[in-house]
Chains A and B, each alone.
Chain A
Amino acid sequence: MKLRRLQVEQLRQFRQPFVMDNLQPGLNLIHGPNESGKSTLVRAIRAAFFERYRTSSVDDLRPWGDSAAAPTITLDFEAQQKSWHLVKSFLQRKRCDLQIDSDSYSEDEAEEKLAELLGFQFSAKGVSKPEHWGVPGLLWVEQGTGQNIEQAVEHAGDHLKSALNSLVGEVASTGGDELIEQVKARWGELFTPTGKPRGDYQKLEKERQEHQQEIDLLQGRVQKYQEQVDRLGKLAQDYERTEKERPWEEAERQLEQAKERYRQVEKLEQEQAREKETLDHLQRNQQLLRQNREQLENLNKKLKARKTELDKARRELEQAEARSPSISSAVKEAKAAYETATKQVDQARLQQARARLEQDIRRLEQQNQTLTQNLETAKKHQQALDQAREQARQNQIDAQAVKVLKNTEQQLNEATIRSQTIATRLTWQLEPGAKPALDGEPLEGQGEKQLLEESSLVIPGVGTLGITPGGEDLASTRRKLSTLEQSLAEQMKTLTVDSTQQAEQRLTAYEAAERALQQSRELLKSVAPVGTEQLQAEQKETDAQLQTAKTELQNSPQPGQQAPVTDAASAEAARTKAEARLAEAEAEDRKHQTELLTRHQTRDNAQAEWQQLQDEVHNPEHQKQLQKLSTELADIEQKQGRLEASLQARDQEIKEARPAILRQDIERYQRSISNLRQTQEERQRELRDIQIRLEAWGAEGLEEQLNEKRAELEQCNRRYQELHRRAQALDLLLTLLTDKRQALTRRLQAPLQKHLDHYLSLLFPQATLEVDEQLRPGTFTRGTELGQIAELSFGAREQMGLISRLAYADLLQEAGRPTLVILDDTLVHTDTDRLEDMKRILFDAANRHQILLFTCHPEKWSDLGVVPRDIQAMKEQGSANLV
C-alpha cells in the first residue's frame, strides 16, 4: 500500500485545505515544530480509515469554535495493484466515497472495503478504540506508545495468524485449543498437576490394597480353620481307638507281676542282712578274745624290761653321787679368789686419789708464782705510763699550728727578699765628717740602705734630698711584708714560743712522750689485760685452792707398804673375772644337786613298777584265764565258717534275681500307665478346646465372608481398571494434542522469527529474541543476559517494539497484505549510537514498505537519505496557492 496524497480541510488547525503531495513509496520524513499539526495529520489518517463517517463522536476533529465545520479527509493510495481514492467527511457533512480504479463505492460499502483491505474492525458505537485497529494498530505507532507491543499484537492476532496460515499453508485446528482444555480438565479429574493419581483413582488403589489385606487375613483364618478341622478329625479318631483298646490295662498287669517278683527278692535280702549281722557279731567277739590273750602274754615281756630300767637308774644315781666332793671344793676356791680381787681394787683406788691431789698442788703453786711476777711487772709499767703521760701534758702543742707558723715564716722571708730586690738602694761612702741624716737617722761611713718608702736625706749644708722609690709593686710588697710580720708575731704568741725553732723543739718532745705512753699501755695490757685488780683477785683465789689441796692430801690415809703392781682398771677387770668364775662354780653345784634328786626319784619309781608286775605275773589266776581264752577262740572260728558258706549261697540267689532291673521295670510300667492315661486325657481336652474354637469360628461364616470380600475386591479392581484405562487414554490424548499443537506453533512462528532475526542482527549482533505461542516477542537473550522484553530499559523496549512491528510488516507483506508504517515522533528515548542502527533498519525496511515518519527534531534524521518535508512550509505554500 502506497499513500500518494493526503488532503485535509476544516480539521482542527487546518481550517483551510492542506495538501501533502508526492509522498514517496519508501521513507517520508515529515517535520514541524510542536502544535504545527503533525499529530493532527496522523489522527486524520486514522479517522479516514477507522472512524465511521456517520459517527458523532469525533468532535475532536472540529476546528476550535467552528460548529458548522465538516472535517474532510481525502486520501489517494495504491493497493492490490489498484488505485484508491477515498473522501471522508464527518459531522456537518457525513459522507464516505471510495473509488477503486473505475469502481465506485460509498457509505458503508466503502467502509467495508477499507476494513477488508487493511485488516481492522469498526467500532459498533462511538469512537474507534485500539481493540478495533487490527493490523494498522500494529503498524501505525502513536506518539509514546512504541514500546507497548503485546496488546497491539493481540488485537491484530487473527489477521496475523491468517496471514501466517496463508504463508505456511497450515490450518490451525478450529477450536483445537478449547479441545485441549477439555481434555486437560478430564485429565485433571484423575491426576494432580504433577501427574499423580487423585480422587477416586487414588482412593481405589488404596482400597484394593485394603481389600487384599482383608482377604489375606481371612484366607489365613480359613486355612487355620481347616487345619483345626483336620486336627479335630485325627484327634477324634485317636481318642476313640485308644478308648477302645485301653492300652494302660496291659501295662498295669505287667506292673503287678514285676512288683511280686521284687517282693520275693526283698525277702531274701532281709535274711541275708540278718546273717551278715550275726557274722559281724562273731568276728567282733573273736577279735576281742584275741586281744585279751595277747595282753596276758605280753606281761612277762614287760617285767623283763622293767628290771633293766631299774638297774640303769641305780647305776646313774651312783655315778652322780661320786661327783659331789669335787664340785664343793671348786666352789670354795672360787669364793677365796673373788675376795682377794675385791681388796686389790680398793687399794688401787686410794693410790689413784692421792696421786691426783699431789698433781693439783704442783700445778697451783706454779700458777701462784706466775701471777705474783705478773703483778710486779704491771706495777712497773704503770709507773712508766704515768711518767710518759706527765711528759706529754707538759709539751703539748698543735702540730698543725706549728706547720702554719713555719709556712708564715717562709712567706715572710720570701717577701723580704723580694722587697730588697725592688727597693731603691742607697749606698754611701761618706767622707769623714760629713754627717748626712736619712729620715732623721744620721748616716756615716760606708753603707747601704734599701728604701721602700719616700725618704728624705738631709745633708747638712747641702739641704734635703727627697728620695722616692719607684716601681709599681713597691707599695703592695711593703703592705704584704708588714701583714706577714704581724701574722707571724700573733701565731708565736698563740703557741707561746719565741721562735719557730722553739716551736719545733716542743713538737718533737710531745710526740716522743705520746709514743712512750702508747708503749707503756701495750706492755701493761700484756700482763694485765683486765686490770691489775683482777690479777690480784686471781692470785688470791689460786692461793686459797693450793691451801685446800695441801690439807686434803695430809688427811688422806697412807697406802700399805707393798706398792700395788696394777692400776685401778686392771684390778677391776681381775675382780669381774673372779666374780664370773664364782657364779659358774655355784651354777655347776646347783645343777648337780638337781640331777642327784632326779636320779633318786627315777630309781624309786622303777623299783615300785618292777615290784608290782613281779607280783602280778606270779599270780595263778592269770594262767587260768589264758587257757579259757584259747578254748573260746576255737569255738568261734568253727561258727564263722558255717555262716560264710550260707551267705555266699544266698548272695548268688539274689544276684540272679536282678533286683535293680526289677525296680526299673516297675518304674517303667508306672510311667507308661501314667503317660497313656495322660495322653488320652489331653486328647480329650484338646478335642473339647478345638470343638469350642471351631464352633465360634464357624459361626462367623469365614468362607462366605471371604467370598464376599473377593467379590468386593474384584469390583474394586474392575472400577480401578476402568479408571486406569481412562487415565491412560486421557494421558495419551493430552500428550498427543499438546505435542501436535506445539509442533504447529513452531511451524507458524518460523517466518516471523526469520524477519525478526533479520532486524535484530542489525541492532544487537549475537542477540536472540524468541517469538512465543501468541506470536509475541518473548524471551530475549544477549550474551549471558536472559529475560523478557518487559524487563528491558524503556529505550530498548521502544527499539524492540519498532523492529518487531517491522518484522510483522514484512510478514504481512509476504502474505500479500497491504502495509503502511506510520511512526509519530518515535525513538525519542534512543541514544545516538543506537539511533544510527535504527536508521539503517528503517532505511532497510523502507525498501519494502512505505514509511511515514513524523518528527519535531528533523536534525536527528538529517542523514536518513531523504528530503525532509516541512509542514509549516507546506502550509504556507498551500495558502500561497490558494491566494
Chain B
Amino acid sequence: MPKFLHTADWQMGRAFSRFETEDGAALVEARFEAIEKLAQLANEYQCDAVLVAGDVFDAQTVSDRTIRRVFNATRAFTGPWVILPGNHDAALAESVWTRAERLGAVPDNVHLALEPGVISLVTQGLAVLCAPLTQRNTYGDLTEIFNTTETPEGLARVGLAHGSVQGLLPEEIDSTNPILGNRAETARLDYLALGDWHGTKQIDSRTWYSGTPEPERFRNNGAGFALIVNLPEPGAAPEVTPVETARYQWHQWRETLAVESDLDQLLNRLQALPEPSVVDLRLEGSVTLAGEEKLVDALSVAEARFRSIQCDRSGLQLEPTDDDIAALKADGYVGEVIEHLRTRQQDDNAEAARDALAILAGLLKDRKQEASE
C-alpha cells in the first residue's frame, strides 16, 4: 500500500535580515540541507512519493541559482515528487515554475501541479488531487472541486492543497485561500496534505499540515518536521509519523530580572541549550553592575557557542549597589554623575542613561584595574 512523505513551506530564497550576514547565510544553507534531508528520509522510509504542499519558493523572482539548487537537492530521491504551487509561488502566467521549466531545471521525476486536476501515479497506487494556487490569493475554496473529481479505480485518493483551514487556525493566519475543515470527508479523500501553516498540525485523522522542515521564525510551534504517511488499505485511517528534520532550534525568551538569582537561572537555561540554536533574548527589570558584568560575559560565551544570539537589554536597568559604587571608587562629582544616571533610568531617556552608566562603570573599572596593576 502506498507510503509517501508529506512536506511543505520550504520558502526557498528567503533572506534572514535580522541576523548578521554570516549567520543569515548559514540559515539559508540549512534550508537547502533540509531538502536533501527530506530526500534522504524518503529513501530511508521507503516512501513511494514525496508530496510538497506549496510555498517551495518564498518569491516568484528568486535567482536562477536558487531554482537550480532546489531541484538539485531533490536528486537523492528518485521516486516521484509532486510539487504544488502555494501563495508565495502561485502558478501565474509567468512564475518561478515557468522559469524553472525554461531553465530545464525540473527533473523528470518531479511533477509540477501547475493546473487543478489529478496526477495519477499508477505504479505507486496514488491519485493526487491537486488544488494549486493560480493567483496570489483566492477567496474561494480551491479544494471544493475535489468533491466532484473522479480518480482511477484502485488508486488512493490523496488531496494536495495550500491554504488555511476555516475555523481551526488562529485568526492572524491569512484568511485568504480558505479550505473547508472536513474536506477529506466531503471529497472522500484518503488523506489531505496541507501547507501554509509552518508548524506541524493535525486537523483531523486524514488531514495534516506538515509544517516547514527547517524553522525560519521564532513564533512557530512545532516547526522542523516532515510527515511519513502510510495508507495501509483503502478506507482505513492513515498512519502519520512526524520525523524531525530541523537543524536549528529557534528560541525567543522574554525575561524579567528582579533578584540576582533570576539572572543565574537564565544563564543556566542558556547553558543547557544545544549548540545549533538561534536565540533571541529580551531582558527587562534591573541588574547590578556585577550582574551586568556577568551577563555580558555569558553573552560573549553564548555568541561563540550558538549559531546566533541576540539580546535586547534596553529595558533592563542598571542598579549599581552601594558596594558597586564603592568598588568603583567614584568620589566627588563623578559619584554625583553616577547617582544622577541611576535616577534618570526612570525617565523617558532611560536607555541613554542606562548606557551612559554602563560606559562610566566600564571606564571606572578599567581605571581601577590599571591602578591595581
Q: Which residues of A contact B (CB under 8 A)?
A: 170-176, 178-179, 182-183, 186, 222, 225-226, 228-230, 232-233, 235-236, 690-691, 694-695, 697-708, 710-715, 725-726, 728-733, 736-737, 740-741, 743-744
Contacts and interface: CB of A to CB of B under 8 A. Distances in A.
Contact of A737 (B99, B329, B334, B352): B334
B333 A743 contact: yes
Contacts of A737: 333-334, 337
A219 to B, nearest CB: 12
Given A229-B94, A736-B356, A703 B337 contact: no
B14 interface: yes
Contact of B352 (A173, A694, A725): A725
Question: Which of A178, A710, A725, A731 has the most CB atoms of chain B within a 10 A radius of its CB?
Answer: A725
Interface stretch (B18-26, B71-79, B296-304): B18-26
A177 B65 CA distance: 59
A704 B14 CA distance: 7
Interface string B333-362: 111110011001000010111111011100
Contact of B99 (A695, A711, A729, A743): A695
B64 interface: yes
Contacts of A700: 61, 63
Given A708-B15, A725-B351, 15 more contacts: A173-B330, A173-B335, A183-B363, A698-B94, A698-B99, A700-B61, A701-B65, A703-B60, A703-B62, A704-B63, A710-B17, A711-B15, A711-B24, A715-B17, A743-B333
A732 B353 contact: yes
Given A703-B61, A703-B62, A736-B340, A714 B18 contact: yes
Contacts of A725: 314, 351-352, 355
A232 B93 contact: yes
29 contacts: A173-B332, A174-B329, A183-B363, A186-B359, A226-B60, A229-B94, A232-B93, A233-B92, A235-B93, A691-B94, A695-B102, A698-B61, A699-B64, A699-B99, A701-B13, A703-B58, A703-B60, A703-B62, A711-B24, A715-B21, A726-B355, A729-B353, A729-B358, A732-B341, A733-B337, A736-B340, A740-B333, A740-B336, A744-B333
Nearest to B12: A704
A733 B62 contact: no
A183 B334 CA distance: 12
A170 B332 contact: yes
B332 A171 contact: yes
Given A229-B95, A740-B333, A744-B332, A729 B17 contact: no
Nearest to A726: B355
A85 B59 CA distance: 99
Contacts of B349: 728, 732
B363 A736 contact: no
Contacts of A736: 337, 340-341, 356
Interface in B284-322: 314
Given A229-B94, A708-B15, A733 B356 contact: yes
A693 to B, nearest CB: 9
B257 interface: no
B333 A707 contact: no
Contact of A228 (B24, B94, B332): B94
B331 interface: yes
B92 A229 contact: yes
A172 to B, nearest CB: 5
A172 B363 CA distance: 18
A182 B63 CA distance: 50
Nearest to B310: A718
Nearest to B333: A740
Question: Which of B58, B65, B352, B356 has the most CB atoms of chain A within a 10 A radius of its CB?
Answer: B356
Nearest to B360: A733
Given A699-B64, A701-B63, A707 B58 contact: yes
Contacts of A222: 61
A715 B356 contact: no
Contacts of A733: 337, 341, 356, 359-360
Nearest to A182: B363
Contacts of B15: 704, 707-708, 710-711
B364 interface: yes
B219 interface: no
A690 B93 CA distance: 10
A715 B59 CA distance: 22
Contact of B332 (A174, A183, A703, A728): A174
A702 B352 contact: no
Contacts of A182: 363
A171 B17 CA distance: 51
B367 interface: yes
Contacts of A731: 352
Question: Dominant SS at the A interface?
Answer: helix
A173 B351 CA distance: 26
Given A173-B335, A233-B92, A715-B17, A729 B356 contact: yes
A51 to B, nearest CB: 35
Nearest to A232: B93
B234 to A, nearest CB: 39
A701 B18 contact: no
A182 B356 CA distance: 13
Interface string B74-106: 000000000000000000111110010010000
A226 B60 CA distance: 9
Contact of B62 (A232, A704, A711, A743): A704
B60 A229 contact: yes
Nearest to A721: B314
B190 to A, nearest CB: 33
B8 to A, nearest CB: 20
B16 A711 contact: yes
The 4 closest A-B pairs by CB, nearest first: A173-B332, A701-B63, A729-B355, A703-B59
A697 B61 contact: yes
Nearest to B330: A173
B341 to A, nearest CB: 7
Nearest to A228: B94
B137 to A, nearest CB: 12
Contacts of B92: 229-230, 232-233
Nearest to B91: A233
A729 B102 CA distance: 56
B66 interface: yes
Question: Which of A176, A726, A730, A732 has the most CB atoms of chain B within a 10 A radius of its CB?
Answer: A732
Contacts of A703: 13, 58-62
B334 A179 contact: yes
Given A691-B94, A740-B337, A704 B13 contact: yes
Question: Which of A170, A173, A700, A729 has the most CB atoms of chain B within a 10 A radius of its CB?
Answer: A729
A171 B331 contact: yes
B329 to A, nearest CB: 7
B95 to A, nearest CB: 7
Contacts of B341: 732-733, 736
Contacts of B99: 695, 698-699
Given A172-B332, A232-B93, A729-B359, A179 B61 contact: no
A704 B61 contact: yes
A248 to B, nearest CB: 25
Given A173-B330, A701-B63, A736-B337, A232 B363 contact: no
Contacts of B336: 740
B173 to A, nearest CB: 22
Contacts of A228: 94
Contacts of A704: 13, 15, 59, 61-63, 66
A249 to B, nearest CB: 27
B250 to A, nearest CB: 17
A225 B59 CA distance: 12
A736 B359 CA distance: 13
A662 B336 CA distance: 104
Contacts of A174: 329, 331-332
Nearest to B358: A729
A182 B340 CA distance: 19
A176 B14 CA distance: 52
Nearest to B94: A694
